[in-house]
Amino acid sequence: MAHKDKLDVLIIGCGNIAGYFDEQKSKKNKPYTHAGAYVWDGRFNISACVEPNQERRKAFMKFWAVDKEFSSLDKLIASGGCFDVISLCSPTATHFHDLQKAISLKPKVIFCEKPVTYAIAETEKVIAECEKSNILLLVNYTRTWDPTFVQLRANIRAGKWGQLRSIIGTYNKGILNNGSHLIDLLYSFVESIDIVGVSHPIFDFFENDPTVSALLEGSNDVPIHLVAANAADYAFFELQLIFSQGVLVMEESGFRWRERKVEGSHIFSGYQRLDSGVFQDGSYEQSMLGAVDNIYKSINGSDTLASTGRSALKVQRLCEAIKQASLCSVEGGNAE
C-alpha cells in the first residue's frame, strides 16, 4: 500500500466507546475510545460521523471537531465520501447491517467493536466480503495491545514462569459481550480449547447473551475455569494464571496486576509456598493507542493486524458453543 501521512476516519455510532468515555475525563489522561485514540495519535482525521440520535451526534461532532455529520449510513453514502478507516461503534444488534454498508465504502481498514455480529454465519459473511474487497478487519479485543499483556506473553514464552498449570477467569455481562474478552485472552496461552461442562445460564444484562460458568480444557491438558459473576452487582473481569513457578493475577480489568513467586515456607520446613505478592499498575490505558498505531502501520505496510476477523470468529465459535450447551442444560432439566 502507498504511504499516507494523514488517514481519514468515519465513526459509525457516537456512544460510550466511540468517544463519550473520554469526553467525561481530563484530556491529559490517555484515551479509552476510538475518537480519543485517533485524536491523541495525531495521524488521523475524523472527517465524518454517523449517529441517529441528534443530540448525541451534535455533542460528539462539537467535542471531537468532526467535519461532517449524518443521521444514517444511507445518507452518508448518498452524499459520497471516501475513508481510509471506518470505526464501527454502533450497537451489536445493528453490526451486520452497518458492516454491509461500511464494506460498500471500501475503506482500507474497518475497526469493529466486538462481537463482530451476534450470528456466526453473519460474521463469516462479513469476513469473506472484507477479504474479497481487500479490506482489513480489526476487532477490538482491547488487551491485545496492552503493553503489560504483550510483555507477559513474551515472558511466558521465554519460560520465566515455568509450566502453565491452570487458568481461572471471572466475568459477567454475557459470554459473548464480555466473556469473549476472556476467551480471546485464553487463546494467547493455549492453542485449542474444549468444553468439559457448563452451568445453567445467568441472564444478568442481555436477554440473548447469558453469563455462563464453564469448565474447559486447553491444549496440553490445561484446565480452565470460567466463573460467572453477576452484572447486576458490579463490573467484574479478572484472570488468574497458575504456573509451576508462581501465580499471575490480572485485577480490575487489567488496570492492576499481582505477581506471586514461590518461596520456602517460614513455618513448615521443606515446603514451598507463594509469597504475598507484588502489585503493579497495568497499562490498559495504552491499549487503544496501540490499536490505532496498529491500524496506521498496517495501512502503510509496516505491520500486520494483531486482532483479526478470523481470530474473532474463533472466539465467537467457542462462546456460542458454551452458550448453546448452557441453554441445552436448562432444556434438558426442564424435560426431566
91 vs 12: CA distance, rounded Å: 10
What CATH class has 7-141+288-305? alpha beta
- CB-CB neighbours of 54 under 10 Å: 10
Residue 219, C-alpha cell as written in the block: 491444549
CA angle 22, 24, 27 (to 5 degrees): 55
195 vs 142: CA distance, rounded Å: 25
pLDDT in tens, the chain (336 residues): 456 789 999 999 999 999 999 999 877 889 999 999 999 999 999 999 999 999 999 999 999 999 999 999 999 999 988 999 999 999 999 999 999 999 999 999 999 999 999 999 999 999 999 999 999 999 999 999 999 999 988 998 899 999 999 999 999 999 999 999 999 999 999 999 999 999 999 999 999 999 999 999 999 999 999 999 999 999 999 999 999 999 999 999 999 999 999 999 888 989 999 999 999 999 999 999 999 999 999 999 889 999 999 999 999 999 999 999 999 988 765 433
Residue 301 has what pLDDT?
A: 86
Question: According to CATH, what is the number of the domain 147-282+319-327?
Answer: 3.30.360.10
235 vs 173: CA distance, rounded Å: 8
- CB-CB neighbours of 199 under 10 Å: 19
- Sequence-separated contacts (24+) of 40-46 with Cβ below 8 Å: 40/289, 41/289, 41/292, 41/293, 41/296, 43/5, 43/6, 43/7, 43/296, 44/6, 44/7, 44/8, 44/9, 44/85, 44/292, 44/296, 45/6, 45/7, 45/8, 45/9, 46/9, 46/11
**Is there a contact between 110 and 138 (Cβ–Cβ < 8 Å)?**
yes
Residue 140 has what pLDDT?
A: 98
Could you tell me the residue ranges of all domains in the chain? Answer: 7-141+288-305, 147-282+319-327
